[in-house]
């Protein structure tokens, strides 16, 4: 098995697997709160930040680019909340507005960058589709650090978080600082997106955040079970996707992982339908 000896293959596999694991965990509560498309919006809104980071520093150093990405993604979320609270616009439309216009701003900035004579911007647009093959060990370490920190925070704030997910009115009535939890939720999703940009790119990221939770959902009875099962499913589908893609010429890793994750959802749903005839999904305990 060259996978354990070859540096490139090992890096791709480790990077994709840890990404699948952490994205599954970080996306789980967004899916429960019926905000599955937030991840997609945040990912698209990261593009202008990436361009700004590059424009301001003139280099492709990862740190300013990632900070820029996190900033504009966070800005997008603040904008969405502003739209939904201050106008009669619904949540879906607000997401669509933020997604398309910020991505448009990114395209605008890209055209500005491409015009400049110092054009060493080549590869800046790989964040659109990601390039797992270009992963290096530092990327994997970064994914692990961000993922572990974000997961720890999520596990620590799990109690109020799930109260907000299942009964937002009660959460507000019992004096919970919902604004702070909303902010943390956005931050955690942004963290997941930042680590995913290099590997699967903005268009496909939402699948990694959403699919494992949807696949796990019929089989679990509590959020703890959900987090564990989704994490395992995320890990397995990314590993399978990465293994298949590195062993097939011309098969890109990101899209392959997305296909495998979606197939996992289909399999989970079919198996559930076959084993639980005429029963709806079990209710989840909130405690």
Partner 1 sequence: MSPLIWIYIITGLAGFTCALAGAYLIIRKSAMIADAISHSILPGLVAGFWIANGPNLLTGLIGALLSGMLTVWLVEFLTSKRRIKQDAAIGLVFPFLFALGVIWISLDFSNVHLDTDSVLFGEVTLAPFDRLKLGGTDLGPQSIWLLGFALIITTAFLTLFRKELKLATFDPLLATVSGFTPIALHYGLMTIVSVSTISAFAAVGAILTVALVIIPAATARLLSHRVSGVLRISALVGLTTSFLGTWLAFTFDLSISGMIATLLGITFSATAVLAPRNGILAQTKLRQRDQINQAIQALIIHLEAHQNTPEEATENTISHLTAELGWSNSWTQTVVQSALAKQAITQSGQTLAPGPNAQSFWQN
- Find the binding residues for partner 1 in span 163-222 (CB under 8 A): 203-207, 209-211, 213-214, 217-218
Residues 100-129 that bind partner 1 (CB under 8 A): 100-112, 115, 125, 128-129
2 sits near partner 1 (criterion: CB under 8 A): no
The answer to the question of residue 84 lying near partner 1 (CB under 8 A) is no
- Write the DSSP string, the chain: -GGGT-HHHHHHHHHHHHHHHHHHHHHHHHHHTT-THHHHHHHHHHHHHHHHHHHHHSS--HHHHHHHHHHHHHHHHHHHHHHHHHSS--HHHHHHHHHHHHHHHHHHHHHHHHHSTT---TTTTHHHH--GGG--HHHHHHHHHHHHHHHHHHHHTHHHHHHHHH-HHHHHHTT--HHHHHHHHHHHHHHHHHHHHTTTHHHHHHHHHHHHHHHHGGG-SSHHHHHHHHHHHHHHHHHHHHHHHHTSTT--HHHHHHHHHHHHHHHHHHHHHHHSTT-PPPPPP--
Nearer to partner 1, 143 or 208 (CB): 208
Rule CB under 8 A: choose which of 56, 63, 90, 167 binds partner 1. Answer: 90
275 binds partner 1 (CB under 8 A): no
Q: Please select the residue that binds partner 1; options are 3, 10, 37, 144, rule is CB under 8 A.
A: 37
88/287 with CB nearer partner 1 = 88
Question: What character string, x for contact with partner 1 (CB under 8 A) and - otherwise, covers 244-263?
Answer: ------xxx-xxx-xx--x-
What is the binding site for partner 1 (CB under 8 A)? 31, 34-37, 39-40, 44, 79, 83, 86-90, 92-93, 95-112, 115, 125, 128-129, 203-207, 209-211, 213-214, 217-218, 250-252, 254-256, 258-259, 262, 265, 269, 272, 280-281
């Amino acid at each position: 098995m060259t996978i354990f000896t070859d540096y490139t293959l090992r890096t791709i596999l480790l990077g994709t697997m840890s990404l699948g694991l952490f994205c599954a965990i970080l996306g789980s509560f967004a899916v429960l709160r019926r905000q599955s498309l937030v991840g997609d919006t945040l990912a698209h809104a990261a593009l202008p930040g990436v361009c700004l980071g590059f424009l301001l520093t003139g280099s492709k150093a990862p740190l300013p680019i990632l900070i820029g990405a996190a900033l504009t993604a966070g800005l997008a979320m603040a904008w969405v909340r502003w739209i939904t609270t201050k106008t009669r616009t619904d949540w879906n439309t607000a997401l669509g507005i933020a997604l398309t216009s910020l991505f448009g701003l990114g395209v605008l900035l890209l055209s500005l960058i491409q015009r400049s004579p110092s054009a060493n911007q080549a590869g800046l647009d790989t964040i659109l589709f990601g390039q797992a093959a270009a992963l290096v060990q530092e990327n994997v370490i970064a994914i692990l650090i961000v993922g572990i920190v974000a997961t720890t925070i999520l596990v620590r704030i799990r109690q109020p978080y799930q109260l907000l997910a299942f009964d937002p009115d009660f959460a507000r009535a019992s004096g919970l600082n919902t604004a702070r939890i909303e902010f943390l939720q956005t931050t955690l999703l942004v963290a997941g997106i930042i680590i995913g940009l290099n590997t699967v790119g903005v268009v496909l990221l939402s699948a990694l955040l959403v699919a494992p939770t949807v696949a796990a959902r019929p089989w679990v009875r509590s959020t703890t079970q959900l987090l564990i099962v989704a994490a395992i499913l995320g890990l397995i589908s990314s590993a399978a996707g990465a293994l298949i893609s590195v062993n097939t010429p011309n098969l890109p890793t990101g899209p392959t992982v997305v296909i495998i994750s979606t197939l996992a959802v289909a399999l989970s749903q079919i198996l559930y339908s076959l084993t639980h005839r005429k029963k709806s999904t079990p209710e989840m305990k909130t405690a």
